[in-house]
């Protein structure tokens, strides 16, 4: 098992995604500074309703935007690998240190028509969000082996839906999950303002606009 400093947050970080964070608590200022100084990674786990979900995603500091006089920081983090927390203890600085096991997907085949359908539905929604600058997806330009996490970044998923997706051990099952979700929200695209609020609040950087 590996050891990670844990950063519980009210967000879900996906592998290969990037998220801006404002670091203000003393214990996490220590954790993030340690990671920046030594090149270490840390773990982000969803915490909601006082429950810490044990499936999380490791992260690296991709960019340090600003350090304030009081040590607060604005950073950009990049998701790496998913893990399961087996147990954790509190460090002397107050943040949790977890013993974690990384896991990968089952070795399954992606059903091409499911991926194509997800991309088609995603692009229809993007076309209707005229007030948001989100690029459409082109299957020929998708480099990742986990396109579900790319699509999910701006698919308007609720928080626990994101956590469910993170925990699924199959790319094809994640795509089926997204296919069902996108099919359900498609009738709402005419209410573009409603959908755009959901997508705007996803928090992720537009994956095509970050090249760090």
Which tens digits make up the pLDDT trace of 94-117? 999 999 999 999 888 899 999 999
Q: Which has the closest alpha carbon to 13: 49, 53, 56, 55?
A: 56
Average pLDDT, rounded, for the chain = 89
CA–chain centroid gap for 57, Å, is 8
Of 57, 72, 102, the position where a domain reaches its end is: 102
- End of a domain among 44, 74, 102? 102
Q: Is residue 210 part of a domain?
A: no
Query: Tens digits of per-residue pLDDT, 28-81?
Result: 999 999 999 999 999 999 999 889 999 999 999 999 999 999 999 999 999 999
Residue 208 lies in a domain: no
Number of domains in the chain: 2
- For residue 124, the enclosing domain spans 112-200
CATH number at residue 60: 2.30.130.40
| Candidate ranges 103-112, 161-170, 180-189; pick with highest mean pLDDT | 161-170
Q: Is residue 83 part of a domain?
A: yes
Please give the residue that has the higher pLDDT: either 4 or 210.
Answer: 4
76-111: burial string, b at 16+ Cβ within 10 Å, e else: bbbbbbbbbbeebeeeeeebbbbebeeeebeeeebe
139 and 67 co-located in one domain: no
């Amino acid at each position: 098992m590996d050891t990670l400093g844990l950063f519980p947050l009210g967000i879900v970080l996906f592998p290969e995604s990037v998220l801006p964070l404002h670091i203000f608590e003393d214990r996490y200022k220590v954790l993030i500074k340690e990671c920046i100084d030594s090149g270490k990674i840390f773990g982000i786990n969803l915490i909601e309703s006082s429950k810490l979900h044990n499936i999380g995603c490791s992260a690296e500091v991709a960019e340090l935007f600003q350090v304030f006089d009081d040590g607060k920081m604005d950073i950009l983090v990049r998701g790496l690998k998913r893990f399961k927390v087996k147990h954790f203890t509190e460090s002397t600085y107050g943040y949790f240190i977890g013993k974690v096991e990384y896991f990968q997907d089952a070795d399954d085949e992606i059903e091409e028509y499911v991926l194509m359908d997800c991309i088609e539905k995603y692009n229809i929604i993007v076309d209707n969000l005229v007030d948001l600058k989100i690029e459409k997806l082109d299957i020929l330009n998708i480099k990742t082996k986990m396109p579900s996490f790319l699509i999910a970044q701006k698919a308007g998923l609720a928080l626990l839906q994101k956590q469910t997706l993170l925990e699924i051990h199959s790319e094809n099952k994640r795509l089926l999950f997204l296919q069902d979700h996108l099919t359900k929200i498609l009738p709402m695209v005419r209410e573009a303002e409603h959908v755009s609020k959901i997508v705007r609040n996803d928090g992720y950087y537009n994956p095509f606009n970050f090249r760090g």
